[in-house]
Amino acid sequence: MSRDEIREIADIVGDDKAYSHFVKRINKEFDLSDEERNSKVYVIFQENKKGERIGFVVIGHSPAKMKVWGQTFKEEGWVKNDFQMDPDPFELMYMYVKPELRGEGYSNKLFEKVLAFTKDKGIREIYAYVSDRSPAALNFYKKKKANIIQDFSDEDLSTAFLSWQL
């Protein structure tokens, strides 16, 4: 992930206040990480029919975080005792499509790219934590056949740990 890519992400989110926190968090993560860490985080963009960038996914290696997640899944009893996380899975960190273009299938295309990119890198598992006031993302991930490791959703928040085995 580069500064230029973060600028493009900020342009895509624009003045969508509900997700301005994505841009803030991505900037913070970038600033707090060293060059090596940032080189292991990737941005995949989605274009509209005119070739303009209208969506993105941030995905990458988060080895320390994934180790903690794996241990937590076991300790909390959310996975079977023989659960083994791949040594270096991807974390799907952020996914976003411009509000006025949602429901047009762009996320389907974007997610296809994510799977192809992940396979191409020889990665066999993706993990994600989703927590959002809108159920759109969790519904979308369910449609994409995510394994639901634990679902904490209530009427205010759709929250879950998810994974995909490729």
Ligand X SMILES: CC(C)(COP(=O)(O)OP(=O)(O)OC[C@H]1O[C@@H](n2cnc3c(N)ncnc32)[C@H](O)[C@@H]1OP(=O)(O)O)[C@@H](O)C(=O)NCCC(=O)NCCS
| Contacts with ligand X, residue ranges (CB under 6 A) | 19, 94-97, 102-108, 130, 132, 134, 136-137, 139-140, 143
Query: What is the number of alpha carbons within 13 Å of residue 120 lying toward its C-beta?
Result: 7
**What's the min distance (Å) between Cβ of 77 and ligand X?**
25
Q: Which is nearer to ligand X, 40 or 102 (CB)?
A: 102
Which residues lie closer than 8 Å to 61 by C-beta, 6 or more apart?
A: 40, 41, 88, 90, 91
Closer to ligand X by Cβ: residue 54 or 79 = 54
Nearer to ligand X, 41 or 95 (CB): 95
For residue 46, list its beta bridge partners: 55
Q: How far is the CB of 87 from ligand X (least distance, A)?
A: 24
- Helices 3-13, 20-32: axis angle to 10 degrees equals 170
CB 82 → ligand X: shortest distance, Å?
29
Rg of the chain over all Cα atoms, to the nearest angstrom = 16
